[in-house]
Amino acid sequence: MTYIHCSPGTKISPEQIPLAWSCCSGKGQNTSPAGALCPLCRKEGMHIENITVRHLLKKEMEGKASQEDYWLCMNERCAAVYYNDKTGTIFDKDDIDVPVWFKDDANPRYACYCSRITDEDVTRAVKEQRITDMTAIRKFYDPDAKSQCKIKNPTGRCCSPVFIEIIKKAMG
């Protein structure tokens, strides 16, 4: 299992993200049993639906996107983000509109992509506002918070497990 540093001292593995989280779409996400290997680092990727990739690509890259699903490289040190082994397409960090939270140089590092709340924001809410509930923290920064993880989070999955880990760390 590969552990990644979400914020200094916090160890969260991408595997902790539930594969069938139903917070946004109301239905779980299909997952394929075996992930295609990243063309750059040869590590196995996570299945990502086409709709997620299309929403997160920079405008100028949209023309390069196919109709197929992609794989997400979960290696924190690898520059590749989305790839498709059949079409040979690779989208790297520069092709994506947001920093990918588990990549080692992500800046800012978002805990919640829907409301654009960073790790630092979460830590500040816990330490300065004494808010330790995820929903309350989201409301504090974004009263009209809507969950759209499917198209806002680079994994297409809900940020809750990562968000909660950051709260726990901040409560230390």
Helix axis angle for 134-141 and 119-129, nearest 10°, is 100
Instruction: Confirm if 48 and 82 have CB atoms less than 8 A apart.
Output: yes
Q: Is 135 helix (H, G, I), strand (E, B) or coil?
A: helix
* Part in contact with Zn ion (CB under 5 A); list of ranges 29-37, 78-86, 115-123, 143-151: 78-86
Our CB check for Zn ion shows the closer of 6 and 73 to be 73
Question: Smallest distance from the beta carbon of 84 to Zn ion, in angstroms?
Answer: 13
Binding mask 3-42 for Zn ion (x = CB under 5 A): -----------------------------------x-xx-
Q: Which is nearer to Zn ion, 154 or 170 (CB)?
A: 154
Q: Residue 17 and residue 150: Cα distance in Å, rounded?
A: 13
The only residue of 65, 73, 96, 122 in contact with Zn ion, by rule CB under 5 A: 73
Record the tokens describing residue 35, joined without a space. 């992930």
Interatomic CA distance for residues 18 and 170, integer angstroms: 22
Binding site for Zn ion (CB under 5 A): 38, 40-41, 73, 75, 78, 80
